[in-house]
């Protein structure tokens, strides 16, 4: 049984085929609509955390492909609390053709996958966010027409989004510069994993944010406080301001640089309005691309 838990589990060729399929499905959708490739197929969407993009893009994606999506809110099934994850996986597998899960502990998606008779898609865990990275790659690919030799400078908190983006870099052949305050940088494990996949120097850690963006084709940022870290928000607000993506910082990067953010944005914290709404911003095409990238994943796993 194939699952979509981590880009590291898929080969570069498979992932590039998913991007090509996403490009195709996007074009097809915009020129008359998608064929009902997933007619009669259903997806359960299990959420332990809130969501706008993940929930709506998976639900609409299934609908546009002729299938059905069922939203299950954080209070409903109590993954691992009301019922064991192994039991939830096997019960859901009797009703639906696939499960998308957004969880706190990454072990919850791996445990679901261990027991599930149907494909599991990771819709974000504390560890990673592979669907986001696929939408990000699609956005970068559309912008530059290729991926190799590009540099993505990620500023701020090295989190789930950063980890998946780094594995995407290793798989698709681009480079990352990561600029985080001390104590909030990438863990050595994920760096070693990415280097092992890439076979080239895929990531550079540069503490100075101005230095970090100097050769960037893409500047990327995310919230300073991820879901589940709310208790640390005040402390984080003291540490992260030098890593804000603002207009003066953008001036330090090449003129062609685009700005990305997985959203939701905390405007005035990690990104300013002038950048988020400025000509170099790709925030909303990027958000839209969640739909197209995930439809390719759904078709691959459920058809």
For the CB of residue 161, give the shortest distance to ligand NVA in the complex, in Å. 5
> From residue 116 to residue 145, what is the string marking binding to ligand NVA with x (rule CB under 6 A)?
--------x---------------------
- The CB density around residue 201, as the number of other CB atoms within 10 Å, is 8
Cβ proximity to ligand NVA: between 67 and 123 the closer is 123
Q: Pick one of 48, 158, 159, 244: the residue that binds ligand NVA (CB under 6 A).
A: 159
How far, in Å, are 86, 98, 180, 205, 256 from residue 155 at the CA level? 38, 34, 6, 10, 18
How far, in Å, are 50, 105, 122, 130, 274 from residue 74 at the CA level? 8, 14, 15, 21, 35
**Token couple for 135:** 């939408």
Q: Pick one of 45, 178, 262, 275: the residue that binds ligand CP (CB under 6 A).
A: 262
Residues sharing a CB contact under 8 Å with residue 104, sequence separation 6 or more, in sequence order: 48, 49, 125, 126, 228
CB contact at 8 A, 70 and 96: yes
Q: Pick one of 37, 60, 197, 227: the residue that binds ligand NVA (CB under 6 A).
A: 227
- The CB density around residue 77, as the number of other CB atoms within 10 Å, is 19
Active site residue 131: no
52 binds, among ligand NVA, ligand CP, none (CB under 5 to 8 A by kind): ligand CP
- Residues binding ligand NVA: what is the number (CB under 6 A)? 9
Cβ proximity to ligand CP: between 262 and 271 the closer is 262
Binding of ligand NVA at residue 160 (CB under 6 A)? Answer: yes
Q: Pick one of 19, 191, 194, 262: the residue that binds ligand NVA (CB under 6 A).
A: 262
Binding of ligand CP at residue 51 (CB under 6 A)? Answer: yes
- Give the span between the Cα atoms of 136 and 293, in whole angstroms: 9
Q: Pick one of 124, 155, 178, 191: the residue that binds ligand CP (CB under 6 A).
A: 124
Which one from 102, 163, 282, 292 is the annotated catalytic residue? 102
**Token couple for 173:** 């052949």
Catalytic site positions: 102, 129, 132, 222, 262, 290
């Amino acid at each position: 049984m194939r699952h979509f838990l981590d880009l590291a589990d898929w080969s570069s060729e498979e992932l590039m085929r998913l991007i090509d399929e996403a490009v195709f499905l996007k074009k097809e959708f915009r020129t008359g609509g998608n064929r009902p490739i997933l007619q009669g197929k259903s997806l359960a969407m299990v959420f332990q955390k809130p969501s706008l993009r993940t929930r709506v893009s998976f639900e609409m994606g299934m609908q546009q492909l002729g299938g059905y999506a069922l939203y299950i809110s954080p209070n409903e099934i109590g993954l691992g609390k009301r019922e064991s994850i192994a039991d939830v996986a096997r019960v859901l597998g009797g009703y639906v053709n696939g499960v998308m899960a957004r969880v706190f502990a990454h072990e919850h998606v791996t445990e679901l996958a261990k027991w599930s008779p149907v494909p599991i898609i990771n819709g974000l865990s504390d560890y990673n966010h592979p669907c986001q990275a696929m939408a990000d790659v699609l956005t970068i690919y559309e912008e530059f027409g290729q991926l190799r030799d590009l540099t993505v400078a990620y500023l701020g908190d090295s989190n789930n989004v950063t980890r998946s983006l780094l594995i995407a870099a290793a798989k698709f052949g681009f480079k990352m510069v990561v600029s985080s305050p001390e104590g909030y940088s990438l863990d050595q494990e994920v760096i070693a994993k990415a280097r092992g996949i890439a076979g080239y120097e895929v990531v550079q850690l540069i503490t100075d944010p101005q230095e970090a963006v100097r050769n960037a084709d893409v500047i990327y940022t995310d919230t300073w406080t991820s879901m589940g870290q709310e208790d640390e928000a005040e402390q984080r607000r003291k540490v992260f301001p030098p890593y804000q993506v603002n207009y003066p910082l953008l001036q330090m990067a090449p003129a062609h640089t685009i700005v990305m953010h997985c959203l939701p944005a905390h405007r005035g914290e990690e990104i300013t309005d002038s950048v988020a709404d400025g000509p170099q911003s790709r925030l909303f095409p990027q958000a839209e691309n969640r739909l197209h990238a995930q439809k390719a994943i759904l078709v691959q796993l459920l058809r």
